[in-house]
Amino acid sequence: MPRGATRETEAAQRVTMNTRVVEQPGLEFPRFFSREGVDPFDEFEWESRTALIGSEQGEVVFEQRDVEIPAFWSQQATNIVVSKYFRGQMESPTRERSVKQLIGRVVDTITEWGRTKEYFASEDDLQAFSDDLKHLLVYQKAAFNSPVWFNCGFEEAPQCSACFINSVEDTMESILTLARTEGMLFKFGSGTGTNLSSIRSSQEQLKGGGTASGPVSFMKGYDAFAGVIKSGGKTRRAAKMVVLDVDHPDVVDFINCKVDEERKAWALIDAGYDGSFTGTAYSSVFFQNSNNSVRVSDEFMRSVLDHGDWQTRAVTDGRVIDTYKAHELMRLIAEGTHVCGDPGMQFDTSINDWHTCPNTDRIRASNPCSEYMFLDDSACNLASMNLMKFVDQDAGNFDAEAFAAAVRTLITAQEIIVDNASYPTEAIGRNSRSYRPLGLGYANLGALLMSRGIPYDSDEGRDWAGVLTALMTGEAYAQSA
């Protein structure tokens, strides 16, 4: 031991040496899809079109003339990208008028982030990555989630993740903070899910006297904000998931809440109100802006099979509040789903058995679509690949090498996004940067199987799905590491 050193200082020095930051070499990125010195935008013809969307009544809902679109894109793709993703006020000089502007601002922003953070070994590697990413997007081989298209290159600190999971505590401050956080997420085009089981039930007392409102009452406020804040400033609706544990004392109210509102909407429709998706009947009732899911355990499911009892317990002290027959609760859930599609079910035991970070905390909720299940206060940015774009149109062979290269390119872009995107709370930003949840998937599996004459529900079809997913996952993990 050096003179004057203590065992504590020696241990501290040892920890410092063991945890020092080791400078990593930049990423080498060989080209796969692009050619050096050739802009992917210059490889094909462009044409001027009109993006036009009409209503069922024949009225013009959206129109933008003289937009520049790749000649091989469909009119449907034109209408979607121009109406949803072009930025700027209509008729203003700053309004985007070309797919070159849209893809350019996204790719250029990610490229500049990669340059600033020194992700790549050389400028040539950076340019190869940039060109390959541009190729994948303009040839419709891949796409990012909507917040990237909405915000990247437009907002100074863009929100880029589509999927969020928020936490809430049993305090008025936390309950109202969640409303603000959700509102900001909806504003920039993201969706969010929260388990409200931490909020005391309507059968429990408040510290100052009186009875608590319960989570279902607060859901009305959350639902109202989701209904009025259009996602990404566009016309699409906000996406929201609400989860409640099956042992929460208000679980029956939660199961029935959307069913009751559905029946109110039916009464309004019978009275002559518009019953369409955006009509006055459904806009006049609660809980139309979220997916509701009851979170159940294996213990509950076994009790259902055994026709056993099921107890709900107080949030504040754990005492038994009500006792039900488990199969009767299950029947209520099934009937609710039959009437209005909700509630869904989340299987807590199985979800946490598959937890990729089990030593951190339990998974309690999901994003609205439920493909993202992770810790509270976290976010995931998504990208998807079009499987049919990797099929040789002449020979019909699937190009696995190109598919793997696309995975590497997209995962690299998503990794860059994580560190440079903004997040609505410090906790979400911290967890996103620490755990780096990335969502990469594929689309058009059904079309791929049909093009090969393979039944969707067949062993051969499942083999294809398994092989594609394994290749995608392995390449993504290797590149991310």
* Antiparallel, parallel or unpaired: β 142-144 and 163-166: unpaired
C-alpha neighbours within 13 Å on the C-beta side of residue 282: 14
Contacts of 285 (CB under 8 A, 6+ apart): 261, 262, 264, 265, 268
Catalytic residue, from 289, 367, 381, 431: name it: 367
Catalytic residue, from 169, 371, 401, 460: name it: 371
Beta bridge partners of 163: 191, 380
Backbone angles phi, psi at 68, to 5 degrees: -95, 120
Of 182, 279, 295, 195, the C-alpha closest to 239 is 182
Whether 169 is a known active-site residue: answer: no
Whether 367 is a known active-site residue: answer: yes
Strand, helix or coil at 266? helix
Q: Are the C-beta atoms of 287 and 258 separated by less than 8 Å?
A: yes
Cα gap 251→410, rounded to integer Å: 41
What letters, b where the CB count within 10 A reaches 16 and e where it falls short, cover 3-17? eeeeeeeeeeeeeee
Whether 369 is a known active-site residue: answer: yes
Cα gap 129→142, rounded to integer Å: 14
- Name the residue with tokens 């059904």: 446
Contacts of 140 (CB under 8 A, 6+ apart): 73, 77, 386, 389
Helix residue spans in 118-214 (DSSP H) = 123-138, 146-151, 172-187
Amino acid at the residue 66? D
Strand, helix or coil at 107? helix
Cα gap 240→369, rounded to integer Å: 9
Assess whether the previous peptide bond of 147 is cis (omega < 30° from 0): no
3-state helix, strand, coil in the chain (%, to 5): 45, 20, 35
Cα gap 70→98, rounded to integer Å: 9
Q: Are the C-beta atoms of 84 and 91 separated by less than 8 Å?
A: no
| Token pair recorded at residue 376 | 């509270």
DSSP label at residue 28: P
Cα gap 405→410, rounded to integer Å: 9
Amino acid at the residue 438? L
| Token pair recorded at residue 214 | 């319960």
Catalytic residue, from 63, 256, 369, 420: name it: 369
Catalytically active residues, by annotation: 367, 369, 371
